[in-house]
Structure 1
Amino acid sequence: MINIFTLQWQRLRRKPFMVLAMVAMTIVFIIFIGGANNQSEVSVPISFTEGVSEAERTKLADQLNELDGFRFIETNEDKARENIALGVSSFGITLAEENYRFIIGTENPNQAIVEQYISSMYWEKLRIEQAVGPEGDEHLRRTIEASLEDPSMDVVSQIGESEGDVFIYNNKLQALFGMTLFFAIYTIVFGLGEVAEEKQRGSWDRLILSPVRKWQIYLGYLSFAFVIGMVQIFAVFTMFHFFFGFDMGGRWLEIFIICLVYTFAIVSLGMLIIGLVNRSSQLNAVVPIIAVSMAMLGGAYWPIEIVNNEVVLAISKVIPVTHAMEALKAITVYGKGLADIAQPLSILLLMGVLCMGCGINLMERR
């Protein structure tokens, strides 16, 4: 086993281009999609109708800018529409005295967060108006507003992940997790590519019939693919956390466990693919199709939370990327613990065991 394991590293040292290319492409895509700067605020253009007074405009703008992660810029509606049409902003808002409307260019997960916040603002304003009454008692209005600004009881609320709740969208972490898990599929599965080469040359049968035990042969190849995948994933995570300012929350033990389980699942999937193909050319053709499909359906390219198609959501449940993304975001974005991600980790382990069993069975039959 050790000899096979070290032999794979010697081959990698002689031909490191594939792994280096995957790491480089991961970095480029993360920087391109998620950005490598520390500016995490989303700019949203806002405009007001003619019926809104100057004092009310200032008050609404100040309230909006209390929303963390967003910066609301006052402009006129024509300018806002122009920015949205040019792709500078995904959406904008026109505010009136008693209502508001969104100007939408493209679907964006941040819109749901902003809409929920503005809705609460207008509901609060409506309740104050109802309490003040038609006579408009300004003293009572100021008293209510003061009590709302300095409440006697602090209520801590949390946005959950359950169906129907507004999810927290972090573009940086979405890009980091999605692209890292996606390109790791190539590295891990192609790391097992030597098995396909051995099968094509016919030397795999001789290797199986050699005095070396079968489990040692399998473990030698599988452990190499596992280690190279883990190194790539964790190297990218630590690089972007410490050098590019991507805040992953410091929960490194939980993140490490998620990476371990995900890598095991992908290694097992690679073993299943190797068992189905006969030549390395078939492997080269199949892997990109599977990797891209898994990334698209599993939420690596875009958040799975914004998908409404029931068929796509059903398919995503049998894709390892889906559960790895869910676990990573639960730890880093929502601040959950290891017990809270037991389900996605268990599913990944189950997928890994099933794929590994089927893959080895196919290898033995052939």
Structure 2
Amino acid sequence: MRGIILARFTSFIRNPWLFALFTGMSIIFALIIGNFGADNEKVTVPVYGDEALQTDTIGTALAENEVYNFKWMKKEELEETIRRGNAEAGVNIEEDGYEMIVGIDSSNVKLMEQTVAGIYTDKIQGENLLAVSDAQTEEEKEELLAAFQQAKEEPVFKITNQSFHSSETFIYDNGLHSLFGFTLFFVIYTICYNVLPILIEKKAGVWDRMILSPMKKWEMYIANLIYSFFEGYLQVVIIFTVFRFIVGMDFQGKFLQILLLMIPYVFAIVSLAIFLTALVKNTQQFNAALPIVSVSMAMIGGAFWPIEIVQSEFLLALSKINPLTYGMEALNGLVIYNTPLDQLLMPISILLLMGVIFMGVGIHLMERRHV
């Protein structure tokens, strides 16, 4: 058994390209579909006005805004930007007021206007404060304005917001859903192509010759399944590690718990791969069946879109026998719904049960076919 595992590891080191392909595809698709980093980009708002205003109080406040990127440009350039649809609106900044130039009337435009109006309001309040104060020097005026700004940032009332959801509602996070879905989807290919050598070696008579040695048949199965589990789980660990430490996703502080949850899912997929291998007769049938099975599992199990939006009772019934469904349920429950790990025993138990059933039936069918 050790010899088989060692041989498989040696083969992996010499030819890791298939593993790298599926791992890379999982990361790339999750990054693209999940729009990672897009939420942190500021919305660009074109602005024009006198050059003196760019360094004035208004210009400084616009530059320090944390939501919008106010970009100064000429009037003709601003109008052309809005006309082409590259910006929803622009702002004409003046000393005593502003003018909104709207291209697309949307809720974002109203938020932009509120932001600009707030800046002008702060300026007017600051000027009124200086007018009624006895500040004489520039230092005194700056200290007074700084105290005024600090008072604004420390409100008198503190408001605590709480939200809740009923059992009929669901929370959707595009980034997490894409990451979970594509990770669970592509690991199916990695595991299945690692189980395929069992079929190839059986058809070629390699197992018949190995049985003549002191090695037992169950040891050959265990060795191949251990290696398939290892490579599939390694892919999952690499993907989540990349998103945790490179992309910067914190997973609500549950990174290690996620890796723990993936163990029963990977086990179930290894067992499913054994079952699929037992149903086909040759490599050609396997290559034809695998994409159909994997894509169907992803579509029905909620990897490509939330399963909560599916209305078909038939498809929902099929999802109950799909390991990917319970993998997504466990991950979403842990990270998105903050469900404690001990309350996720239902999907974990179902994945383990599926793994035992698929493996038992698969090995039985395989042995009957090759007797």
- Corresponding residue for residue 364 of structure 1: 367
Secondary structure in 1 aligned to 2:252? coil
- How far residue 11 of structure 1 moved from its aligned partner, in angstroms, is 1.4
Secondary structure in 2 aligned to 1:29? helix
Q: Counterpart amino acid of 1:319?
A: N
Within the alignment, does 1:350 sit opposite 2:329 as a pair? no
- Corresponding residue for residue 343 of structure 2: 340
Q: Counterpart amino acid of 2:277?
A: I
2:275 pairs, out of 265, 272, 276, with 272
Shift of the 22–155 alpha-carbon distance from structure 1 to 2, 3 Å rule, reads: closer
Shift of the 279–334 alpha-carbon distance from structure 1 to 2, 3 Å rule, reads: same
Secondary structure in 1 aligned to 2:248? coil
RMSD after superposition:
2.7
Q: Deviations over 1:56-77 (max 9, x none)?
A: xxxxxxxxxxxxxx99xxxxxx
- Corresponding residue for residue 111 of structure 2: none
- Corresponding residue for residue 202 of structure 2: 199
Within the alignment, does 1:159 sit opposite 2:165 as a pair? yes
Within the alignment, does 1:211 sit opposite 2:214 as a pair? yes
Q: Check whether the contact 2:244–2:255 (CA below 8 A) recurs between aligned residues.
A: no
Alignment of 1:13-32 (within 5 A): 13-32=13-32
- Corresponding residue for residue 48 of structure 1: none
- Corresponding residue for residue 36 of structure 2: 36
- How far residue 315 of structure 1 moved from its aligned partner, in angstroms, is 0.7
For structure 2, the residue ranges without an aligned partner over 5 or more in a row are 44-66, 69-81, 87-105, 109-155
- Corresponding residue for residue 180 of structure 2: 177
C-alpha separation in 1, matches of 2:356 and 2:260: 17
The size of the alignment, in residue pairs, is 265
Q: Check whether the contact 2:267–2:355 (CA below 8 A) recurs between aligned residues.
A: yes
Q: Counterpart amino acid of 1:24?
A: G
Question: TM-score by structure 2 length?
Answer: 0.66
C-alpha separation in 1, matches of 2:254 and 2:281: 42
Shift of the 208–291 alpha-carbon distance from structure 1 to 2, 3 Å rule, reads: farther
Q: Counterpart amino acid of 2:179?
A: L
- Corresponding residue for residue 133 of structure 2: none
- How far residue 22 of structure 1 moved from its aligned partner, in angstroms, is 0.5
Secondary structure in 2 aligned to 1:271? helix
C-alpha separation in 2, matches of 1:264 and 1:35: 30
2:260 pairs, out of 257, 261, 268, with 257
For structure 1, the residue ranges without an aligned partner over 5 or more in a row are 44-69, 72-78, 84-91, 95-148
Alignment of 1:88-99 (within 5 A): none
Q: Check whether the contact 1:327–1:345 (CA below 8 A) recurs between aligned residues.
A: yes
- Corresponding residue for residue 8 of structure 2: 8
- How far residue 197 of structure 1 moved from its aligned partner, in angstroms, is 1.4
- Corresponding residue for residue 107 of structure 1: none
Shift of the 244–38 alpha-carbon distance from structure 1 to 2, 3 Å rule, reads: farther
- How far residue 151 of structure 1 moved from its aligned partner, in angstroms, is 9.7
C-alpha separation in 2, matches of 1:4 and 1:228: 15
Secondary structure in 2 aligned to 1:348? helix
- How far residue 42 of structure 1 moved from its aligned partner, in angstroms, is 12
Q: Percent identity?
A: 43
- Corresponding residue for residue 247 of structure 1: 250
C-alpha separation in 2, matches of 1:32 and 1:272: 33
- Corresponding residue for residue 308 of structure 1: 311
Secondary structure in 1 aligned to 2:39? coil
Q: Deviations over 1:174-203 (max 9, x none)?
A: 010000110000001101121121022122
Q: Counterpart amino acid of 2:37?
A: N
C-alpha separation in 2, matches of 1:222 and 1:200: 18
C-alpha separation in 2, matches of 1:303 and 1:179: 13
Q: Counterpart amino acid of 2:22?
A: M
Larger radius of gyration between Structure 1 and Structure 2 = 2
- How far residue 40 of structure 1 moved from its aligned partner, in angstroms, is 6.2
Secondary structure in 2 aligned to 1:192? helix
- How far residue 207 of structure 1 moved from its aligned partner, in angstroms, is 2.7
- How far residue 365 of structure 1 moved from its aligned partner, in angstroms, is 1.1
Q: Deviations over 1:209-244 (max 9, x none)?
A: 432112211110000000000010111011112111
- Corresponding residue for residue 233 of structure 1: 236
2:326 pairs, out of 323, 328, 337, with 323
Shift of the 151–21 alpha-carbon distance from structure 1 to 2, 3 Å rule, reads: closer
Secondary structure in 1 aligned to 2:247? coil
Bigger Cα displacement from structure 2, 175-184 vs 233-242? 233-242
C-alpha separation in 2, matches of 1:330 and 1:276: 33
- How far residue 307 of structure 1 moved from its aligned partner, in angstroms, is 1.2
C-alpha separation in 2, matches of 1:187 and 1:174: 20
Secondary structure in 2 aligned to 1:342? helix
Q: Counterpart amino acid of 1:158?
A: F
Shift of the 287–332 alpha-carbon distance from structure 1 to 2, 3 Å rule, reads: same
C-alpha separation in 2, matches of 1:42 and 1:297: 36
C-alpha separation in 2, matches of 1:155 and 1:36: 26
